[in-house]
Structure 1
Amino acid sequence: MKQNPFSFYDFLGYMLPGAVLLYIITFVFGVDDIVAKLSLEDASSSTANQLLSFIPAVIFSYLLGHVLAIGSSALIEAFTNYSNGYPSEFLFGVKPKAYLSSDTISGQFGRVVLWLLILPISVFKLVLKDILKIKMFNQAKALPQPLREATHNKCTAVLSQHIDVDTSNMKLEKGIDGDYLRLLYHFIFENSERHSAKLQNYVALYGLTRNVSFAFIVLFWWSVYSYFFTSQFSVGKIHIVSFATLAYVFYIGFVKFYRRYSLEAVMAASVFSKKDG
């Protein structure tokens, strides 16, 4: 598979989330100094120069998207894996461990801190998914029972026969370890043209939703601080509620596409044959 230097993920996963955060900071919080400094002040009135004046803002959005990606991976993806388990596990019906089940006190403390850092997501999840059990908010769904054994057997066969992985200890009750799912992903990406495009799309979409969700977490805490401790920004309760809600909505989207990416890799491995390549 050949890829362009600037990929679909670069646009959806980095540039777009960075642009969303930059736009809201500028036009909702009124911090227009950022855009002013990123603009080329001496640009002439010609159309070409006006277009070129946006280049610094575009580059800054892209770099800001990378920062969001680091934060969202460390916080939102970690929270998802702690609370739901890895997609390669819950797809096969593996029940997640309790959120605070860590081997060390420091690990438990870290999970409490994580829960508080992404408070809008953790509270909405607790109420809507865990307590009220509303199905539409449960995107961490298992495969239907008849499919689990068939797909698991096929995946372990691909790992054993084509990647030389010892699969003797892999049991359906444990699902597929996340590291082995990465092997399946790269194997399918390199050997099945038909599935590689869909895998790329799902990776880009879960990167987009995860990073935008984290952007709204940042905006939520900014709005909370502004509302209670400073009058510099015109922030009200509507901003706090809106950012909290949007953070959870995009989190649900992330879990959905995180699952679909894993499901696509599993299904592609299940139907793989040598002629696919």
Structure 2
Amino acid sequence: MEKNPFSLFDFLGYFIPGAFFMFLCFFLQQQGGILYYLKVKNIQEFNDNVSIIYATFFVIFSYILGHILSFLSTLTIENFTVWMFGFPSKNLLKFEKEKKYFVEKDNCCLTILSYILRLLLFLFLLPISFFSITIGKLFDLNRSVYTKSLDDIYIKLIKSRVYHIFKKMGKKGEVSLEKFDFHKLLIYYSYNTNISHQPKLMNYVALYGFLRVCCLIFNILSLYFLVLIFIDSEEKTISDCIICLVSSILAYITYLGYLKFYRRYSQENLMILLLEDKKQ
């Protein structure tokens, strides 16, 4: 087994987002907020206060905080994406029809609970959800970045290959790919049968994981300043509005980046199936 305690994902997915979030929290505690550290003398003062103990604590806590943020981004950003647009693997193979964010469950109580949960998530991710249903639909970004399918010839070949893989693994009868989350099994299969593609797949995982966490951080930052706009003094309202708008735009841009690499990762896994198995 290859010993690699720290990978690219540890830095992009955990340490860097955790450190970035810690810096934002530290900056926001100052009287001038983020704008406080745009002055050179304030940056120099911050550098003079850094010690080895502080730096060690910063590195360790950033890594831990990055894990927490990554988990929270999975619960929020990833679930929102699946509920709003579906799984990228199913979109690529034209299994997903037009998604409805609010769906009815078998039980009335479950339906109400689902509606409440999805509404709260929609409001929590307001910068992302708002831009997705406005700019995303107006400029067709949702389809071009995430929900666009493969060409029919590739879809036919990949479906045939998927059925062959399930049959080879002992599954009798045809599998309903529309209802079954087949991509989880195909990730493991393609990863272990095509060793040469593993680095490329892991790079996609690191990139979309990094962008997902950054998206959550910018989303939290925009909500923070949105609250300040309503409760803060009039002197800072203009600057708060500007930072809120910029962070909201950055949240949506990083979200589009997450969608892009999440889709590419799924597409790579599906296209690998068309290659000959390395282990025969």
Q: Shorter chain as normaliser: what TM range? A: 0.7 to 0.9
AA matched with 2:75 = A
* Cα offset, 1:152, TM superposition: 1.5
The 8 Å contact of residues 204 and 261 in structure 2, kept in 1 or not, is answered as yes
The 8 Å contact of residues 158 and 269 in structure 1, kept in 2 or not, is answered as no
The 8 Å contact of residues 215 and 250 in structure 2, kept in 1 or not, is answered as yes
1:257 pairs with 2:258: no
* Matching of residues 118-267 of structure 1 within 5 Å: 118-134=125-141, 138-161=145-168, 163-166=169-172, 168-171=174-177, 174=178, 177-178=180-181, 180-230=182-232, 236-267=240-271
| CA distance, structure 2, for counterparts of residue 256 and residue 165 of structure 1 | 33
Deviation string 1:197-241 (CA, Å, 9 cap, x unpaired) is 11111111110010110011111111122232245x965211100
| CA distance, structure 1, for counterparts of residue 183 and residue 141 of structure 2 | 29
| CA distance, structure 1, for counterparts of residue 143 and residue 3 of structure 2 | 35
The number of residues matched between the two structures is 258
- 1:90 is aligned to 91
* Cα offset, 1:256, TM superposition: 0.8
Deviation string 1:119-139 (CA, Å, 9 cap, x unpaired) is 000000101122443578643
- Relative to structure 1, the CA distance from residue 27 to residue 197 in structure 2 (aligned partners, 3 Å threshold; closer, same or farther) is same
- 2:5 is aligned to 5
AA matched with 2:277 = S
Please, which runs of 5 or more residues in structure 2 have no aligned partner?
35-46, 106-110
Deviation string 1:163-215 (CA, Å, 9 cap, x unpaired) is 334561335xx2x843x212111122222211111111111111001011001
- Relative to structure 1, the CA distance from residue 75 to residue 102 in structure 2 (aligned partners, 3 Å threshold; closer, same or farther) is farther
Normalised to the residue count of structure 2, the TM-score between the two structures is: 0.82
- Relative to structure 1, the CA distance from residue 130 to residue 189 in structure 2 (aligned partners, 3 Å threshold; closer, same or farther) is same
* Cα offset, 1:250, TM superposition: 0.7
Deviation string 1:22-53 (CA, Å, 9 cap, x unpaired) is 22333365379xxxxxx9x795xxxxx5xx64
| CA distance, structure 2, for counterparts of residue 29 and residue 243 of structure 1 | 18
1:59 pairs with 2:66: no
AA matched with 1:188 = S
AA matched with 1:8 = L
